[in-house]
Structure 1
Amino acid sequence: MKLTKFILPAALVALPSLGLAQEAEAAAPGFDEIGPYIMTTLLFCMAGFLVFFMAAGFAMLEGGLVRSKNVTMQMTKNIALFSIAAIMYWFMGFNLMYPGDFNGYVGTFFSPTVLDPVGVAAADAALDYASVGSDFFFQLVFVAATASIVSGALAERIKLWPFLIFTIVLTGVLYPISGSWKWGGGWLDGIGFSDFAGSTIVHSVGGWAALAGAIVLGPRIGKYGKDGKVTPMPGSNLALATLGTFILWLGWFGFNGGSQLAMGTVGDVSDVSRIFANTNMAAAAGSIAALIMTQIMYKKPDLTMVLNGALAGLVSITAEPLAPSLFGSLLIGGVGGILVVFAVPMLDKLKIDDVVGAIPVHLVCGIWGTIAVVFSGSATLTAQLTGIVAYGVFTFVASLVVWFILKGVMGIRVSEEDEIMGLDMAELGMEAYPEFSRG
């Protein structure tokens, strides 16, 4: 009786709190609600890590394909350009590129990205997409890849600081403005232009900027003779260049797979896996196509062409890595590998000196890959050509203007003496391989 006297009041007191606990438990979202948000955020983070690692791939590829007296300069440029891209995309690039709300052309200038902690209500409202932080990071690593393309093409004769200033303009202004035309919901998106992961938006933009710089900068001393003869200038370390290519190949799974932009359903996950398979097939086809073509044309396989063939296949499939079949991906990548073999000597005939073959790989194959989207039926040729021309004219002309301004104000090319000595000692005062004689 005495026990009941105490238990009953205690139970009455506990009932309201028990009810509140049950209501809270009922209100908590289950995995079916939060799962898509979690999985897509995870996709952005993991894919972003892979694309970030491509910075190492670009550094190793360029370090292997330049002469030993210029390796330290390439390493310096690559770590600096990524850091600049990260800061500039935070400072203005991200909000300039998204949502493309100024007449469908550009977003907001000088608007630093803010990643404040969000409340429960705000988080719940975003459950059908992903965290802003993961989206920002994933988009950031793409702009850094664009700048890396320029670095390799202009190697061995450009001054460090003018290059870094150009990187500020490219990553903070040029890339975000043009990127907003499609990915920011701008005018090219409105006419049906299709570029899944950036054959044009990323790769050809980098290629156009590199082409403009190579024209203004001029070729390396001794590269082209008066009789039109091309003097080979072998790189310092083909093993390093091969490692860089494999790193880029790996990073491309994040580049293309992450561009699915969703991993919250069975269909999304299945699509990501198809993208991986198609991406890999295109790279393999590009390398084999280049291998065969160099054997036919030069009677011996050329490893540098084979490496660029793999990258050419990757760039070619980037505009649409989901829709094609594996056989279609093989054809798209294989054509890219063939194009590179012909584009490299074509540039030499025009006396445009591209040290690592970035323009054939990223510009030529970026254009090809964007056109190839038509074969999958997801875009019209008119829309694709409009996008190619728009990105080409804007990026090439704007880049030319910036390069000419830099040339006039501070000069962009090292002196003849410094170029012959090597940029490592002339610009930085240190060598990558101090135990070996400079060559």
Structure 2
Amino acid sequence: MKESTIMMYMDSLWVMVAAVLVIGMQAGFALLEAGSTRMKNSGHVAGKQILSFALATIAFWAAGFGITFGEGNSLFGTSGWMLEGDSKTFDALSWANVPLSLKFLFQLAFVGVSLAIAWGGFAERAKLSVYFIFGIVFTVLIYPVIGHWVWGGGWLGEMGMQDFAGSTVVHLQGAIAALVATLLLGPRIGKFNKDRTPNLIPGHNQVYTVLGGIILWIGWFGFNAGSTMGTADGFFGYVALTTNLAAAAGAIGAILTSKFLTGKADIPAMVNGVLAALVAITAACAFVEAWAAIVIGFFAGAFTFWTSVYFERKGVDDPIYAFSVHGIAGIIGTISTGFFASPRLVEQTGVGKAGLFYGGGFEQLFVQTIGVIGAAVYVGVISFILLFAMKKLVGLRVTPEQEISGLDISEHGSYGYPEHLDPSLTSAKKAN
């Protein structure tokens, strides 16, 4: 058997494993979000992850993948619907030596993560129908456009934007959509007092939150290291190293900041610190040295905790802090390569230029900043237009009575914890 054939098999196996790891992050989101919200909404919050990924799968196969990676122009792809086309149709992915089916599966996993992030802004008060409409539009018209700009041969990629695994393409997109939804939906009932001071609405299960965070941490090795889409030079191992170092630093940064600012070492804050660090290192994992990964992760974990407190005090009810964890950290990670991109790693990856701290000047920093602004504006505008129209035409939010009773019972007809929340079952137990 030829060596090239063996390498293709190895690369294909690695991409398949990586794709499964990233798809498995849906389980992490289910546990994290369910644990971070109230018991009466737990089944709904967890179950929507399956609906989210199901919608994304069909919509991305039908049109999203073609718009992202299909042959087209600098703004969007115009070919490759339902994975149909010739060898030139998906030339933007020709560098990966694996079958098209695996390229699709791996990229689909990313879309699923981005949409899961967006749902964080809808938590505990949005109608189930909103998920259907917004999920399809996000997968077809929002995510693929930014993906094409950066990874599909679009204008940001041509400028040399460094976003190895998606701090902007995946995380910032989902976070901006979550923020728009949060603002249009308004705060949950009881979240703020008349003087706008916030009330604590704790999640019902910190163990679920921690387990969800650990699953996401593990899945991130597929997310970042899998983005090499190859095994030949072992570079995926270095990407995994920087990813893990950043995550560890983020946990420490967040829990120390929590202790310093509040006097308590908050456990959910530590989990969010890990996630914020992972989000930040996602763009930079292939471009920065190990020591820089620690700096980026620590700063992202610490700063994200502060921003989550700040936005809450300003009247923003973001139930799982999606914008801070994925948006603010996504910006930090994307901008960071403009400072920390190492010349040797830039040469190895062949993307962009060295950062400011290595004598590269402001050029890469400028490109990264333009990329963040361009993505945020596009996602924000399209998300606002769609959600505002839906708010006026069909409504975004359940009724106050449905919100108070919980989305488990009002949207699905049963509780995630029936014996704890259904009075009829409690009465039956006492009678027996």
The answer to whether TM tops 0.5 is yes
Conservation of the 8 A alpha-carbon contact between 1:33 and 1:127: no
Deviations along 1:401-429, whole A, 9 cap, x unmatched? 01011111111101111111111111111
One-letter identity of the residue aligned with 1:93:
G
Deviations along 1:184-227, whole A, 9 cap, x unmatched? 01111111111000000000000011111111111101111122
Q: 1:228 deviation in Å?
A: 2.5
CA distance in 2, matches of 1:96, 1:323: 27
Instruction: Name the structure 2 match of 1:422.
Output: 406
The correspondence for 1:133, drawn from 62, 78, 101, is 101
Instruction: Name the structure 2 match of 1:306.
Output: 270
The answer to whether the aligner puts 1:376 opposite 2:341 as a matched pair is yes
Instruction: Name the structure 1 match of 2:229.
Output: 261
Instruction: Name the structure 1 match of 2:394.
Output: 410
The answer to whether the aligner puts 1:43 opposite 2:26 as a matched pair is no
Instruction: Name the structure 1 match of 2:429.
Output: none
Return 5+ residue gaps in structure 2 as ranges. Answer: 88-93, 347-352, 354-363, 424-432
CA distance in 1, matches of 2:122, 2:284: 29
SS of the residue corresponding to residue 170 of structure 1 reads helix
One-letter identity of the residue aligned with 2:72:
F
Q: 1:109 deviation in Å?
A: 6.5
CA distance in 1, matches of 2:314, 2:52: 28
The answer to whether the aligner puts 1:319 opposite 2:287 as a matched pair is no
Conservation of the 8 A alpha-carbon contact between 2:96 and 2:229: no
The correspondence for 2:313, drawn from 346, 349, 361, is 349
Conservation of the 8 A alpha-carbon contact between 2:172 and 2:330: yes
Q: 1:328 deviation in Å?
A: 1.3
CA distance in 2, matches of 1:390, 1:206: 14
CA distance in 2, matches of 1:154, 1:109: 32
Q: 1:35 deviation in Å?
A: 2.4
One-letter identity of the residue aligned with 1:433:
Y
Moved runs in structure 1, 4+ residues, more than 4 A?
Answer: none
Conservation of the 8 A alpha-carbon contact between 1:316 and 1:370: yes
Conservation of the 8 A alpha-carbon contact between 2:249 and 2:277: yes
Return 5+ residue gaps in structure 1 as ranges. Answer: 1-29, 119-125
Q: 1:114 deviation in Å?
A: 4.4
Query: CA RMSD of the aligned region, Å?
Result: 1.8
Conservation of the 8 A alpha-carbon contact between 1:36 and 1:128: no
Conservation of the 8 A alpha-carbon contact between 2:37 and 2:203: yes
The answer to whether the aligner puts 1:437 opposite 2:421 as a matched pair is yes
The correspondence for 1:84, drawn from 40, 50, 55, is 55
CA distance in 2, matches of 1:163, 1:407: 13
One-letter identity of the residue aligned with 1:351:
G
The correspondence for 2:142, drawn from 174, 196, 216, is 174
Conservation of the 8 A alpha-carbon contact between 1:41 and 1:135: no
My pick for the range that moved more, 388-397 or 417-426, is: 417-426
One-letter identity of the residue aligned with 1:70:
N
Count of matched residue positions in the alignment of Structure 1 and Structure 2: 397
Alignment CA distance shift 1:409-1:59 (3 Å): same
The correspondence for 1:400, drawn from 381, 384, 391, is 384
How does 1:26-425 map onto structure 2 within 5 Å? 30-99=1-70, 101-108=71-78, 111-114=81-84, 129-263=97-231, 265=232, 267=233, 269=234, 271-374=235-338, 375-377=340-342, 378=346, 379=353, 380-425=364-409
Q: 1:231 deviation in Å?
A: 0.3
CA distance in 2, matches of 1:142, 1:231: 34
SS of the residue corresponding to residue 435 of structure 1 reads helix
Conservation of the 8 A alpha-carbon contact between 1:36 and 1:127: no
One-letter identity of the residue aligned with 2:295:
L
CA distance in 2, matches of 1:288, 1:296: 12
The TM-score normalised by the length of structure 2 is 0.89
Q: 1:36 deviation in Å?
A: 2.5
CA distance in 1, matches of 2:318, 2:96: 44
